[in-house]
Structure 1
Amino acid sequence: MIEILTSGVALGVHVPGLLLRDRLREQGASARVTVLERLMPAHTLATTARSKQAFHRDFRVALAGQKLARDASIATDAQAVDDLLRDWRAREVSRFVVFSGFWLPIIERYVERYAAGADGVPVDVCHVDSVQSPSFDKAGPTTLAVEHVWLADAANERIPCSIPVSREEPLAWTDRDHRLLVHGGGWGMGTYRERAPELLTHGFELDVVAYENRDLAELDGVRFFMIDPEWHPWLDDGYPPFGPVVPDEVPVFAQREGHHGSFDLARRALATVSKPGGGTLLDSLWSATPAVLLEPFGPHEQRNAELWQHLGFGIAFDDWAAKDFATDVLEDLHTALLAASPADYSRALL
């Protein structure tokens, strides 16, 4: 049994865990995803939901909040943690794959209680970002003997391995819509909304991922999509319910099987326009869709952007604007992405 440990605070951490689970199950392995927030009391989750809304509405608040964040494992309920440790023991978990550093102190407790003096349980720390992300910095050093797995590696300027979002081949460049996918990650953060009018004036149609109803507007050339605002990763084991939204109409959200719904939009787009989160890079890689990179959410995302530009997979928004938003620039990036051939982490894990 492989236990995949994520956090619902960031879909760029949680969705890759779901993808890994599905790729493992396709190969006959037993794997389960557990979300850290399921161990937290209701009042803590309510605070998290309020923070998400504030971070979406003002990127400056988000950047300040990131600096003030603390180790989330201390907010967990002690009884819930004890129950989970017993559950791991009963299910004979044979390996942990950790996507959030806040899980490491909890695994330490498990090892102390059930595996002290033995060989222990192998722990893979799976880095979605190209450098260590804030959750591992906030959690501090660990006593566990972990194996570090990098889905992107800024230090060595490469992609050592990856998690396939889909087994489908990327869509051919000539078969793509003349559209851009514009979004702000799972929390809808960043400056993507401010960039939409400029992109429209240059002849692109847009698929914009809204975060709340107040983001919607009647704009020619723009289709809006949204993750169900009532859904949170700790409510179920599926991908975010996702669908098109129209002002003054009741939306219909659906949970995609196998991968998240927004990836279907990325596959058909000429580029994604977004901050450089780790999940965005993963989608870019497996859809062979170039990333037009907006302002990063912290230093780790800045390193993501630098890596993607170095590899020829992405371009900064202002640099693309200086080239008059030329589509042949995007086609060159698409060609470079097609040539990437990272190892499949799910296969290596087995």
Structure 2
Amino acid sequence: MIEVLTSGVALGVHVPGLLLARRVREQGGDIRVTVLERLLPEQKRVTTEKMKWAFHRDFRVALAGRGIAADPSKAVEEEAVEELFRSWRGGGVHTLVVFSGFWLPIVARYAARCDRPPRVHVCHVDSVPSPSLRRADTSGLDVTHVRLADAENGTIPCSIPVSREPAPAWSEREQRLLVHGGGWGMGTYREQARRLSALGFALDVIAYEAQDVLDAPRVRYHMVDPDWHPWLDDGYPPLGRVRPGRPIRYTRGADHHSSFDLAGAAIATVSKPGGGTLLDSLWSATPVVFLKPFGDHERRNAELWEGKGFGIPFERWEGNGFAVDELHEAHLRLLDATANVPDYSGILTGRTGEGAV
């Protein structure tokens, strides 16, 4: 049994974990996903939700609070942890794949009790260690670091296919831009969406609450169900089209998250450069127009993607007159790249070797 350990603090951590589980199951592997917040008391989850909305509504609050976020592993309920440990022992868990550094103190406690500790993979979705992984102490663990992007070496050592289907051809795409702010809806995307709409671009925009939705020509709004949280179930985020005067009908696929389909239909994604956004960009062959990053790890993500010709900062694209040809060239480079990227799910199950592009 393989156990994937994610956190609901960021969909850019949680969704790749769900994707990995999906790809492993396709190969007949026994795997499950556990979200850290399921071990927390209800009040702590409520606090996390309040922080999410504060960060969404004011990016300055998010930037100010990024370095002082508390470690949620210190607030877990002991009985929930012990029950989890019992399930790992009883279920024959031999591999733990950690997507959030907040899990590592709990993993270390479990490993210390085992005569034969499980192998531990730390999966880096970002191109350098994210804040939770930077702060984590792995000195007592035998850890294998798995990198889905590597800013230090300028490579994509391996990846998790978001879909087994080929990326849509450029000629099949609508001349639209997908605009979003990551799993928590953070950053300057709303301001830039208004600018791009005024310039005549057709847009798909991920809204996070009703006040985000504006009446603008050629703009389609979509919204993740605000009542859904990653710790409620193991499904992808429910997404629905916002239509004035109609209730939103939320749906989600079994294979991958619905926003990936919006990325595949677009000529570019306009977003801050989170690790999940890079993953979607790679497998949809959709370039990223980068907005202001949330922390140094996202800045390094943007540098990697720009260096490989897969994306461009918003200011530079603006300076180039918002040239669509530049996006097409990046799309072609992304198509070439995916042909050579090793599949981490195959590495995990022993079906493929490792490599780098």
Band the TM-score falls in, shorter-chain normalisation: over 0.9
1:87 paired residue number: 87
2:297 is equivalent to residue 327 of structure 1: no
* Equivalent residue for 1:234, pick from 231, 244, 250: 231
Q: How far is the alpha carbon of 1:278 from its aligned partner?
A: 0.2
Q: Aligned with 2:204: secondary structure?
A: strand
Listed as ranges, the matches of 1:98-117 within 5 Å are: 98-113=98-113, 115-116=114-115
8 Å contact from structure 2 (residues 306, 312) kept in 1: yes
Listed as ranges, the matches of 1:23-172 within 5 Å are: 23-113=23-113, 115-116=114-115, 118=116, 120-172=117-169
1:285 paired residue number: 282
Higher mean C-alpha displacement, 90-99 vs 69-78: 69-78
1:8 paired residue number: 8
The total of aligned residue pairs comes to 347
RMSD after superposition: 0.9
Q: How far is the alpha carbon of 1:165 from its aligned partner?
A: 0.0
Letter in 2 for 1:199: L
Q: How far is the alpha carbon of 1:249 from its aligned partner?
A: 2.4
Q: How far is the alpha carbon of 1:93 from its aligned partner?
A: 0.1
How far apart in 1 are the matches of 2:190 and 2:245? Answer: 20
Identity among equivalent pairs (%): 61
1:204 paired residue number: 201
How far apart in 1 are the matches of 2:43 and 2:124? Answer: 29
Q: How far is the alpha carbon of 1:140 from its aligned partner?
A: 3.2
Higher mean C-alpha displacement, 192-201 vs 136-145: 136-145
1:303 paired residue number: 300
How far apart in 2 are the matches of 1:336 and 1:202? Answer: 27
Normalising by structure 2, we get a TM-score of 0.96
Listed as ranges, the matches of 1:213-224 within 5 Å are: 213-224=210-221
Deviations 1:117-136 (A, max 9, x none): x3x21100000000000111
2:261 paired residue number: 264
Deviations 1:241-283 (A, max 9, x none): 1110124421110121110000010001000000000000000
Letter in 2 for 1:143: G
* Equivalent residue for 1:175, pick from 154, 172, 182: 172
How far apart in 2 are the matches of 1:197 and 1:253? Answer: 25
* Unaligned runs of at least 5 residues, structure 1: none
How far apart in 2 are the matches of 1:103 and 1:344? Answer: 24
How far apart in 2 are the matches of 1:109 and 1:209? Answer: 39
Letter in 2 for 1:129: D
How far apart in 2 are the matches of 1:206 and 1:172? Answer: 19
Q: Aligned with 1:161: secondary structure?
A: coil
Deviations 1:269-324 (A, max 9, x none): 00000000000000000000000000000000000000000000000000000010
How far apart in 2 are the matches of 1:211 and 1:140? Answer: 34
